[in-house]
Amino acid sequence: MDVSAKSLAPASALSLRPTAVAKLVFQYYRQPVSWLVLIIASLVMIYVGGAAMFWFHAIYLGEGGPAISPVLHWFMDSTAALLLTPVLFIVLPLASRYARVGQQDLSPHRFALFSGAIFAVMTIPGPFIHNTFIGRGTYLADVVTGLWGDGRPVQAYTVFPFPMEALLQVAFGLPLYIVLMWGLFYSARTMLVKVAR
pLDDT over 80 (residue 152): no
Kindly report the length of the chain. Answer: 197
The predicted-structure confidence for 60-105, as pLDDT tens digits, reads as follows 998 888 888 889 999 999 999 999 999 999 999 999 999 988 777 8
In a domain, 8, yes or no: no
- SS3 state of residue 99: helix
Domain that holds residue 71: 51-196
In a domain, 171, yes or no: yes
Higher pLDDT, 2 or 186: 186
Write down the pLDDT at residue 197.
Answer: 65
β-pair partners for 106: 100
Write down the pLDDT at residue 154.
Answer: 63
- DSSP per position, 30-97: TSHHHHHHHHHHHHIIIIIHHHHHHIIIIIIS----SSS-HHHHHHHHHHHGGGGHHHHHHHHHHHHH
In a domain, 25, yes or no: no
C-alpha pair distances (Å), 31 with each of 9, 95, 104, 108 = 25, 16, 16, 21
In a domain, 43, yes or no: no
pTM: 0.86
In a domain, 26, yes or no: no
In a domain, 112, yes or no: yes
List the single range of 88-97, 134-143, 146-155 with lowest mean pLDDT: 146-155
CB atoms within 10 A of CB 178: 20
Give the chain's domain count. 1
Contact predicate 123/99, CB 8 Å: no
Contact predicate 96/106, CB 8 Å: yes
In a domain, 132, yes or no: yes
Please give the share of the chain, as a percent, with pLDDT higher than 70: 90
